[in-house]
Amino acid sequence: MTTGYAPVASLLTERPPEDHLINRVPQQPPARGRSHTPSPLHQQYEVVYEDGRGNPLLAFSDGQWWDIASSSPRPVSVRFALRRDPSWAGAVVQTICLWMRSHPDDERSFDLATELALAVGELARQRA
């Protein structure tokens, strides 16, 4: 048996494919009578999540979560984003992880990792 060694790329410098979630808004079939032009929210934020009725709920841009359910968007914590709608919790974590991988040298990546660790720890203790 032969074992070969080769350089392995660092996970810190690995980048997701360009067409991954962080760079594109998930495509949904257009409703009748609607144009294919993205909404102003989808142009302003990298990711927009909607509630069950299709109303904007949470958005993510430049390493920051936003509560966009009211008339005035406000920045919110990772904890808030995870708890806002439990059906989106997995997508919230995935969005954070993809953003951190895409921005390994950004100081905000460390802040997001810390917020995520604290929020997950808190949620795990509540469920126990």
Burial class (CB within 10 angstroms; exposed 0-12, middle 13-18, buried 19+) of 63? middle
Q: Can you give the pLDDT at residue 37?
A: 53
Question: Can you tell me the distance from the alpha carbon of 122 to that of 96, in angstroms, rounded to the nearest whole number?
Answer: 17
Q: Is residue 122 part of a domain?
A: yes
Residue 117 and residue 110: Cα distance in Å, rounded?
11
Does a structural domain hold residue 72?
yes
Task: Identify whether 44 is part of a domain.
Answer: yes
Residue 105 lies in a domain: yes
* pLDDT confidence of residue 39: 61
Q: Which helix (H) or strand (E) holds 116?
A: helix 107-127
Question: Within a domain: residue 112?
Answer: yes
Mapped onto helix, strand or coil, the DSSP state of residue 92 is helix
> For 93-119, b where at least 16 C-beta lie within 10 A, e where not — what string?
bebbebbbbbbeeeeebeebeebbeeb
The domain of 57 spans 40-127
**Per-residue pLDDT tens digits for 85-111:** 889 999 999 999 999 999 999 999 999
What is the structure's pLDDT at 80? 96
* Residue 114 token pair: 């810390």
Q: Report yes or no on 92 lying in a domain.
A: yes
Number of domains forming the structure of the chain: 1
- 29: in domain: no
pTM summary value: 0.66
Q: What is the dihedral of CA 121, 125, 127, 128, to 10 degrees?
A: 130
Which segments in the chain show pLDDT lower than 50? 1-26, 28-36
Query: Is residue 48, in this structure, part of any structural domain at all?
Result: yes
